[in-house]
Each structure stands twice: as C-alpha cells, then as structure tokens.
Amino acid sequence: MKPARFGYARPDTLDGALAILAEQGVEAAILAGGQSLMPMLNLRMARPGLLLDINRIPGLDAIALSGGVLTIGARARHAEVLASPLVREAAPMLVQALAHVAHPAIRNRGTLGGSLALADPAAEMPACITALGATLVVASARGERRIAAETFFLGVYATTLEPDELVLRVEIPAISPGWSHGFHEVARRHGDYAMAGLALALHREGSRVVEARIAFCGVEAATRRQAEVEAVLVAQGAEAACAALAGLDAMAGAEVTAAHRIHLARVLLRRALGQA
Amino acid sequence: MELTDEPMAEMACTVNGVPVRTRVPLRQSLVDWLRHGIGLTGSHVGCEHGVCGACHVQVGGRVVRGCLMLAVQVDGEVVETIEGATASGRIRALQEAFFARAALQCGFCTPGMLLQAAELLAANPDPSRTEIREALSGNYCRCTGYHAIVDAVEAAAARLRA
C-alpha cells in the first residue's frame, strides 16, 4: 500500500502557497497534518498531482484570545488546541469534543483547519464550530474572505471552499456569561468515528433554556445549525425538542441505519439537556 | 534501490542523535525510509493507514504515525525511534515492566506501545487505568488482550514515582 506518484511543494510563505494554488489548485491537495490525506493516498483513494505542504508557513498555528474572540490558526494541531488554556477558557466545547477525536498520535499531527476543510460528516470539529457560531477566514491569491461556519459545510467532503483557497484561521466568539457548552458522542470504541455526536451551546435563565445553538456530527451528510430543533427547545422544552429530531435527514448505511442515528441523536440531546 | 524515474528529494535530519543527509523518494513514508533507507527496523509497518500504531516514532518530541508522514517531511527535524529511546535509557522502566508483566507476546506492537506510553507518563506521572487505555487506544495489540499492557504501564508509572 504505497501512494501513487505526486509532485511536492513546500513553500516558506503564504503568498508562495497561494500562488501555487492559483495555478494548480484543482490538481493540488493541501498537506497540513495529513492524518486523513495520507491514508487516502496510501489506499490510492486520492491521487493528487501535487501535494502542497503548508507546514513551513509561519503563523498558521497561532492561538489567541482578544476582544472576546478566540482565534485558532488553521494549522493548530488538535493536541495544541486541546492543551490550550485560552481554548479551555473561551470555548470549552472544543476541549470536550477533542477528547473524542482519534488517538494521541493522530492528535499530535492532525489540524483544526484540515478537519474543517475535509468535512468528514462524522468529524467533531465541523459540528463544534457550527454550534459555536464561528467564522472561517480563508485566503486565495484573489484576497481573503470570511465564511460563517453554518454556511460552510455542503455535504460529504464538500464545502464552499474554492480550489484556490486555503483556510487561514477560525474566529470563535468566546463563551458569554449564562451560556454553557456541551459535546456528547456515541462511537463503537473511544476515538472511533462518531455514530452520532452532538455539539450544543445553551443560554439559560434559571432552569429555562432561552437560546440554543445545536449541531450534530455523524448524523446528517453535512453538519448544520439545527434551527428548528433549537426553536422547539426554547418554546416547548426538552421532550418536544427530542421529538423534533424525527425531522433529521439522517444518513443511512449498512452498519448504522438512519432510524438508529436519529435514536442516538435523541439519546445525546436528552443526556446533554440533563447535564449542560 | 532507486528506480531511475522515481521523483526524489534532498533531505537532512537528525535520527537518534545522528545527523543524516540523504535523498529520498518523494512518496516514501517516514517509517519505510527508517526501515529500508537507514536500517532501523524497530519501527514496524502494520496497517499503513494510521490505524494500528505499530509505526510510532517521535518527530520533534511528539509521537506520530510513521506511516502518515512522508520521509521528506522530516527535513530539518529531530527524529527518535525505538532504537534511540532504548539506547538513551529513557524508556527502561517501561521496558522492564512490559517484560515482568508479559505485556507482549509476538512483540509487533511493542515499540509503538512503549513510545506512546512514555509520552503519557511524561505528561501524567500517575495516570488512571482509564487514562492509560485512552492513551493507548490508537495502538493495536492482537496477542495480549491489553490487560497486561495496562498493568505494565501502571507498574512502570508507580516505579518512576517512587
């Protein structure tokens, strides 16, 4: 199991990388952590003409908290995000979720930006940044643009990212007083792909939920804000929200049926509302 | 062996304290280069897609999957394999505990287990059995059933704390 031949470029600057993407973006695969790309190369499920290694570009892995916004560089490794006191303070949901992401050696290489750009429907990070109301900042030789996380994910391995664009960083509003974060998941074994995962942020007054942000992973083909479920939760409470999950467009597969994914989503929501 | 038309790249790094300067095929994985390029066969090739953990090595002080990095990517990096970790003595307590508790049978997974367990103990000198299992969740063993491995890591941690 060896990869097919590819070209390889390892630019030292962002401009260098964007110039390559402008010219060869359709043929290129961006190599950040490589923890999903390298298996696909080894299995020859992917055969890009060029690997664009972004590991030498300075500044892509910074984590900062300023003015109520947590900024995480796209190449920040999962292990760095997990260990960051700034992330723990401003976005505790990410810390809870990253404990479910693969295994230590994978987390030492895998990156936040890579997980978002890949858009695996079972991945935890897309659901988290959607529920957190984050914004992706992406760049191409044409300039920068900002994309709301809740509009970024289109389907299985599909996003609104253009072939010449690179994710630079993610901006996450820091958790506000009165809000709580939760992440819950069911997988066959710890670290395996989620059969269903739930990211939620809740604003309570007393015991009543007055505002909610909810996203799932491993349930629908693309993670999204569950606006209907959020509205039902706020208006009618937990049991009605769990019932509203019947409307999910759950993925069906040989191993996990759509009905079972909805069942798991309901279990997770009930569990989260009991705890969060 | 070099195929005449195989795309190659210059690469220089440090492996187990020794500077290495060489040419590698662009598409060669780090673990394949360590084994076939410079004869360090202690890192094992199992699944070749990041699932089994037999290929674990350290790059820049962090444990990584040797099958999920290209050799060319460790240009400028410090690499340590099981051979280096053994020679330095830094994993001796774990090795002795694995031996004492029969935490290996065929030994194929053992180098990866030892490096990952060492990274755990460096960060957490007194891990619970659950934490040990989580740390080793990306390392497959098809012989022992894991209990003896968890025992060994727990025993090594206790000895290192004493």
pLDDT digit string (tens) for A4-36?
999 999 999 999 999 999 999 999 999 999 999
**Min distance B5 CA to chain A CA atoms (Å):** 11
A200 found inside a domain: yes
Q: In chain A, which residues have their Cβ closer than 8 Å to the Cβ of B6?
A: 5
Mutate to test the interface with A, among B73, B116, B124 (most CBs of A within 10 A): B73
Tell me the average pLDDT across B9-35. Answer: 98
- CA angle (A7, B63, A77) in 5-degree steps: 65
Among the candidates A127, A154, A173, a domain finishes at: A173
**Within a domain: residue B1?**
no
- Indicate if B45 and B99 belong to the same structural domain: no
| Residue among B9, B62, B70 whose CB faces A108 most closely | B62
Same domain for B15 and B79, yes or no, is: yes
Mean pLDDT value across chain A: 96
- Which residue(s) pair with B152 in the sheet? none
> How far out from the chain centre does Cα B151 lie?
20
> Has residue B21 been placed in a domain?
yes
Give φ, ψ of B59 to 5 degrees: -125, 125
ipTM confidence: 0.96
Q: Are the beta carbons of A195 and A218 closer than 8 angstroms?
A: yes
Q: Contact B63/A7, CB-based, under 8 Å?
A: no
Nearest-CB residue to A34 (from B63, B68, B133): B68
> Are the beta carbons of A1 and B48 separated by less than 8 Å?
yes
Same structural domain, A75 and A157: yes
A93-125: pLDDT as tens digits:
999 999 999 999 999 999 999 999 999 999 999
The predicted structure's pLDDT at residue B71: 98
Number of independent structural domains in chain A = 3
Looking at the fold, whether A68 and A169 belong to one and the same domain comes out as: yes
Q: Output DSSP code: residue B52.
A: S
- Whether residue B139 is contained in a domain is answered as yes
User: Do B108 and B63 reside in the same domain of the chain?
Assistant: no
Q: Which residue of A has its CA nearest to B70?
A: A38
Give the structural domain span for A40.
7-53
Does B31 lie in the same domain as B95?
Answer: no
Let me know whether B67 and B120 are in one domain. no
What does the alpha-carbon distance between residue B14 and residue A13 come to, in Å, rounded to a whole number?
24
Chain A residues with a Cβ under 8 Å from any Cβ in chain B: 1-8, 31, 34-35, 38-39, 41-43, 51, 53, 55, 79, 102-106, 108-109, 189-191
CB within 8 Å: B27 and A3 = yes
Average pLDDT rounded to a whole number, residues A128-153: 98
- A69 and A41, same structural domain? no
Can you tell me the distance from the alpha carbon of A169 to that of A167, in angstroms, rounded to the nearest whole number?
6
CATH number for the domain harbouring residue A107: 3.30.465.10
- Which domain, by its residues, includes B66? 8-85
Partners of A185 in the β-ladder: A197
pLDDT tens digits along B49-81: 999 999 999 999 999 999 999 999 999 999 999
Looking at B35, B61, B85, the residue that finishes a domain is B85
- Which of B85, B118, B139 corresponds to the end of one domain? B85
Query: What's the pLDDT band for A161 if we cut at 50, 70, 90?
Result: very high
Would you say residue A207 has pLDDT above 90? no
Q: Tell me which chain B residues have a C-beta less than 8 angstroms from the C-beta of A103.
A: 53, 137-139
| Claim to verify: residue B13 and residue B33 sit in the same structural domain | yes
pTM: 0.96
Give me the CATH number covering residue B136: 1.10.150.120
Q: Are residues B48 and B26 in the same domain?
A: yes
Q: What per-residue confidence (pLDDT) applies to B1?
A: 53
Let me know whether A67 and A168 are in one domain: yes
> Do the chains contact at A1 and B49, CB–CB below 8 Å?
yes
Domain termination residue (choose one: B35, B57, B85): B85
pLDDT for res B100: 98
